[in-house]
Amino acid sequence: EPEVTQTPSHQVTQMGQEVILRCVPISNHLYFYWYRQILGQKVEFLVSFYNNEISEKSEIFDDQFSVERPDGSNFTLKIRSTKLEDSAMYFCASSGTNGNTIYFGEGSWLTVV
């Protein structure tokens, strides 16, 4: 069964460092998303991406964050200068042409120290 894959599964980084989280969405999907889940809290929407541009973003997705689809298969989330409060599980997701069913990856656990 096709799946969304994410790397790394776990990353520890120092405060102020840049982090890039990588995702390979399901191959024929057109909509891509990043969500995050701070430990013990709700899963929160960060950003959606369609047709090579951001289609929606939340208040959380400030200037520290950026997304990119550098080639036909990868979708990345960059955090420019990490803060302690960026520590969370980051989920990549994708959906097909109707955008209705959203499939999530296993997540990348980011720890900022």
Partner 1 sequence: GEDVEQSLFLSVREGDSSVINCTYTDSSSTYLYWYKQEPGAGLQLLTYIFSNMDMKQDQRLTVLLNKKDKHLSLRIADTQTGDSAIYFCAVPGNTPLVFGKGTRLSVIA
Which residues of this chain interact with partner 1, rule CB under 8 A?
6, 31, 33, 35, 41-45, 48, 56, 58, 91, 93, 95, 99-107
Cα separation, 22 vs 40, in Å, equals 23
Alpha-carbon distance 92 to 36, whole Å?
9
Task: Pick between residue 11 and residue 58 the one whose CB is nearest to partner 1.
Answer: 58
By beta-carbon proximity to partner 1, the closer residue of 76 and 99 is 99
Residue 9 burial (CB < 10 Å; 0-12/13-18/19+)? exposed
| Minimum gap (Å) between residue 107 Cβ and partner 1 | 5
Nearest to 69 by CA among 17, 34, 108, 100: 34
For partner 1, give the closer residue by CB, 48 or 82: 48
Question: Which three-class secondary structure state does DSSP give residue 84?
Answer: helix
Work out how close the CB of 43 gets to partner 1 at its nearest, in angstroms, rounded to a whole number. Answer: 4
Supply the minimum distance, in Å, between the C-beta of residue 26 and partner 1: 12
